[in-house]
Structure 1
Amino acid sequence: MDTRRAPVSHLAPASVQQENYRPALVLVTSLFFMWGLITSLNDILIPHLKAVFTLSYLQAMLVQFCFFAAYFVMSFPAGYLVARLGYKNGIVTGLAVAGIGCLIFYPAAGLRSYPLFLGALFVLASGITLLQVSANPYVTVLGTPDTAASRLNMTQAFNSLGTTLGPFLGALLILSVAVRSAGDMQSMTPEQLSAYATTEAGAVQLPYLGLAALLFVIAFVIARSRLPAMNAGDAAGDQPDGTVAQSHHDSVWAHRPLVLGAVGIFVYVGAEVSIGSFLVNFMGRPEIAGLSESDAGKYLSLYWGGAMVGRFIGVAILAKFRPGHVLALNAFIVTALLLVAMVFAGRLAMWMLLLVGLFNSIMFPTIFTLAIKGLGELTSKGAGVLCMAIVGGAFVPLIQGFCADYIGVLYSFSIPLACYLYIAFYGLRGCRPTR
């Protein structure tokens, strides 16, 4: 995420780090909160748009497909852009693009256009992709390499605070407006239809206008702030023996932990997003919990809230135990939770799926840190590869949506189950570099 220069063999002195890094960490942590809140709102948009446009599960999952496809399309360009602009300018640009995406929700809701909603989500996610490519490696630089995983987990904990509040606020502001059926709308007078359309559109327009304003304000604050100048070559690039990591003439694809870690990010984000996407509709099914959409949306906050709590716990655990082993253990526990949910169904299944969030907590930042460790000058490009792999959030929900339409929602959770088995492999074996 920064300008090019000659390789460096060490970071700034500890005194400089302590003086400069804390304010920068606080400011960058606000970004993690914002994109967490925005991303989790998709889980509220899905049941809302599914009802408004009478969509199948597969069609409704196009919300996640268009959002996370942006990571695949934009991550490499974002990596090169950040390498030229630097972390700070990359962050400001990402915030501005995300704000524009939020603004497009206004005409999309007013015109009741599903394609325009999907386009708005793509623009919004393009901005968040630039933030991801900028902020994740930047956090690994703001301190010693040995504590990079713990530090990134700390900032990801605030990302989880955003994902926790997002569904709750979305349930209050969006799902509180009951969607009328086609039959109900046919019986309405023109005046009633107009009033209903205005109310329904406003349920989406006002929250996203507020988000746009907040993103632009944060962009202005960061543009006016002094952040420590860091190179791509600084980010977690030093080896344990003090030697400099690979030069810029090397290729990111030659690094086994990065390549397998990209697969890990793909399946992790896909599984996490897929479970969150289905939970509101899943909890509303009579054979599971029979909750209303608004109530189910509030319960969804427990899923993301578990990730928040787990990340704060993970800061301490990862400072004492091997990150790969902690990652594998959590993946095996999630596998067990999904199996119990599919076997027993009912309210037990609901609680098992909500509990998955707690053990999801440390997965993304841990995989990310293990994958970019030792990349040196290649860190910004490696971050681009990993953020590109976030496209798993586009494909895994589509696959589960297809399965849900044909074998039922409950058994469709076998798709994320397979994803967690791979994550366990990566934690135990895949993150080890070749000798």
Structure 2
Amino acid sequence: MPLSEPDAKTAAPARGFAALWPIVLITALFFFWGMANNLNDILIPQFKKAFTLTDFESSLVQQSFYLGYFLMAVPAGLLMRRFGYKAAVITGLIIFAIGAFSFYPGAEIRQYPWLLGALFVIAAGLAFLETSANPLMTILGDEKSAAFRLNLAQAFNPLGSLVGIWVGKTFILSGIEQMNDTADFVREAKAVQTPYLVIGCVILLWALLVAFSKFPQAATKSTDDADEARMTIGQTLSGLLKHKHFLMGVVAQFFYVGAQVGVWSFTIKYAQSEIGISDKLAADYVFASLVLFAIGRFIGTALLRFVSATKLLGAFAVINVALMAYAASVGGLYGLYAMVGSSLFMSIMFPTIFATSVRGLGPLTKTGASFLVMSIIGGAVLTAAMGHISDISHIKTAIFVPLVCFVVIALYGLGSKSATVDMSKGH
């Protein structure tokens, strides 16, 4: 008679390669969504040129993308709770791949709405990945080293962002500003086909690797919290509404993501307008922003050993208010430097707001986390506002939008009680 599978209580923990392989597979997800997010900063000027769009119309790239996050955050959480982390990861990767493959026909027929739909599908897939990857990393090994694994995985997120900008600059942006005939518009539209076809193939391969790889039993079982499961939707929402710091955190996260996405989305436009360079050269400033963002994560994490998280958040937000004020009022090369420099101080904002917002929620934490993921719709709403202001006025005037965002974040940080938080979760 064949031997039965050992149960969860008696099974020996995986060691060596068997233990490391699932960590490698999930760590790569942080890289993938960093790359996908920041490729949008390349698509905005590319689509503006290929389809002769206004700044508002080109901002629909971010609106479509973050709408996908907004609408799929809760379904992703529900699927994760019902079928486990691994199922949510596989689902997210498949949806991501479908969205990437959809770029090919969309560019072939030169339909901007189709390409926006493809971005929506990609973001829907990423909502599943972001909802499941952070908690999954905590169970892929010793509980004592969970924070280390999460921080290590987060280090690959800005690396993916940098690769996304490099791919976009190298394989999508042509540096050609003047469109002379239909062939030029066709060429610029089709420039996205090969990069996204390759991305789709890699993501689909990763889905297969995850599907056929052995994960700990905790990664495949239902993750329903007994206390939360007994609550009705009304009780859960009522409970969350009683936590003032959580509600303030959702608002702060909405404005933070709006500021981050808006600044990065329009850095190329700002550089073109203020110092008169091509989109290809202007992409270098987005790349520099992401380098500073990555450096800021290490600096911020080190400072958190000596300064409370909320106070550091408030101080960084105040600095960014000053930088945005300079970029909006003075402009020129130094205004562009101010735009780029703000990324250094944005680096700790998402994880700090996230961690301080869910602190003390108890059994409401999972639902609260879903609302925080939904709050990143700010990236769509406020980027659209910037595009509209730029169209009717000037790109410098549009920078007052992230300035207001950082004021809200400063109020949240400086008005919150001092707290030491786990910086293992981020964006």
Aligned partner of 2:423 in structure 1 is none
Aligned partner of 1:185 in structure 2 is 181
Aligned-pair CA distance for 1:430: 4.4
Against the structure 1 CA distance between its residues 401 and 431, is the aligned structure 2 distance closer, same or farther, given a 3 Å change threshold?
Answer: farther
Q: Are the aligned partners of 1:149 and 1:366 in contact in 2 as well (CA < 8 Å)?
A: no
Aligned-pair CA distance for 1:35: 0.4
**Are 2:255 and 1:263 aligned?**
no
Aligned-pair CA distance for 1:171: 1.0
Higher deviation after alignment, 387-396 or 221-230: 221-230
Against the structure 1 CA distance between its residues 407 and 93, is the aligned structure 2 distance closer, same or farther, given a 3 Å change threshold?
Answer: same
Aligned partner of 2:80 in structure 1 is 82
Q: Are the aligned partners of 2:50 and 2:189 in contact in 1 as well (CA < 8 Å)?
A: no
Superposed, 1:350-365 pairs within 5 Å as: 350-365=336-351
Residues matched between the structures, number = 399
Aligned partner of 1:307 in structure 2 is 293
Letter in 1 for 2:256: Y
Aligned partner of 1:39 in structure 2 is 37
Aligned-pair CA distance for 1:151: 6.5
**Are 2:389 and 1:391 aligned?**
no
In structure 1, the residue corresponding to 2:72 is in which secondary structure?
A: helix
Q: Are the aligned partners of 1:37 and 1:163 in contact in 2 as well (CA < 8 Å)?
A: yes
For 1:321-369, what per-residue CA distance to the aligned partner results, in whole angstroms no more than 9, with x for missing partners? 3221221121111111111222321100111111111111111112112
**Are 2:346 and 1:346 aligned?**
no
Q: Are the aligned partners of 1:232 and 1:377 in contact in 2 as well (CA < 8 Å)?
A: no
Against the structure 1 CA distance between its residues 140 and 356, is the aligned structure 2 distance closer, same or farther, given a 3 Å change threshold?
Answer: farther
Aligned-pair CA distance for 1:67: 0.6
Unaligned runs of 5+ in 1: 1-11, 187-192, 235-243
Q: Percent identity?
A: 39
In structure 2, the residue corresponding to 1:129 is in which secondary structure?
A: helix
Distance 2:303 2:174 in 1: 39
Match among 398, 409, 412 for residue 412 of structure 1: 398
Q: Are the aligned partners of 2:25 and 2:206 in contact in 1 as well (CA < 8 Å)?
A: no
**Are 2:148 and 1:160 aligned?**
no
Against the structure 1 CA distance between its residues 256 and 149, is the aligned structure 2 distance closer, same or farther, given a 3 Å change threshold?
Answer: farther
Letter in 2 for 1:61: S
Match among 304, 308, 327 for residue 318 of structure 1: 304
Against the structure 1 CA distance between its residues 120 and 390, is the aligned structure 2 distance closer, same or farther, given a 3 Å change threshold?
Answer: same
Give the TM-score normalised by structure 2: 0.84
Q: Are the aligned partners of 2:259 and 2:402 in contact in 1 as well (CA < 8 Å)?
A: yes
Higher deviation after alignment, 130-139 or 399-408: 130-139
Against the structure 1 CA distance between its residues 167 and 398, is the aligned structure 2 distance closer, same or farther, given a 3 Å change threshold?
Answer: same
Distance 2:157 2:331 in 1: 30
Distance 1:107 1:177 in 2: 24
Distance 2:322 2:84 in 1: 43
Distance 1:432 1:248 in 2: 33
Distance 1:98 1:300 in 2: 24
Aligned partner of 2:200 in structure 1 is 212
Distance 1:18 1:428 in 2: 45
Distance 2:372 2:73 in 1: 8
Aligned-pair CA distance for 1:110: 0.4
Aligned partner of 1:175 in structure 2 is 173
Aligned-pair CA distance for 1:152: 5.0
Match among 49, 52, 68 for residue 51 of structure 1: 49
Distance 1:141 1:428 in 2: 34
Q: Are the aligned partners of 2:249 and 2:354 in contact in 1 as well (CA < 8 Å)?
A: yes
Match among 270, 278, 285 for residue 266 of structure 2: 278
Higher deviation after alignment, 405-414 or 271-280: 405-414
Aligned partner of 1:27 in structure 2 is 25
In structure 2, the residue corresponding to 1:41 is in which secondary structure?
A: helix
Aligned-pair CA distance for 1:90: 0.6
Aligned-pair CA distance for 1:384: 1.3
Aligned-pair CA distance for 1:425: 2.0
Distance 2:359 2:117 in 1: 35
Distance 1:330 1:155 in 2: 24
For 1:408-432, what per-residue CA distance to the aligned partner results, in whole angstroms no more than 9, with x for missing partners? 1112111111111111222233478
Aligned partner of 1:334 in structure 2 is 320
Q: Are the aligned partners of 1:233 and 1:376 in contact in 2 as well (CA < 8 Å)?
A: no
Distance 1:395 1:145 in 2: 39
Distance 1:154 1:278 in 2: 30
Against the structure 1 CA distance between its residues 135 and 210, is the aligned structure 2 distance closer, same or farther, given a 3 Å change threshold?
Answer: same
Letter in 1 for 2:131: V
Letter in 2 for 1:262: V
Distance 2:325 2:155 in 1: 27
Unaligned runs of 5+ in 2: 1-8, 420-427
For 1:193-248, what per-residue CA distance to the aligned partner results, in whole angstroms no more than 9, with x for missing partners? 3xx566434410000011111111222222233444167578xxxxxxxxx99885
Distance 2:293 2:230 in 1: 36
Against the structure 1 CA distance between its residues 297 and 202, is the aligned structure 2 distance closer, same or farther, given a 3 Å change threshold?
Answer: same
Aligned-pair CA distance for 1:21: 8.2
Distance 1:144 1:329 in 2: 35
Aligned-pair CA distance for 1:275: 0.7
Letter in 2 for 1:278: F
Aligned-pair CA distance for 1:280: 0.7
In structure 1, the residue corresponding to 2:275 is in which secondary structure?
A: coil
Letter in 2 for 1:297: A
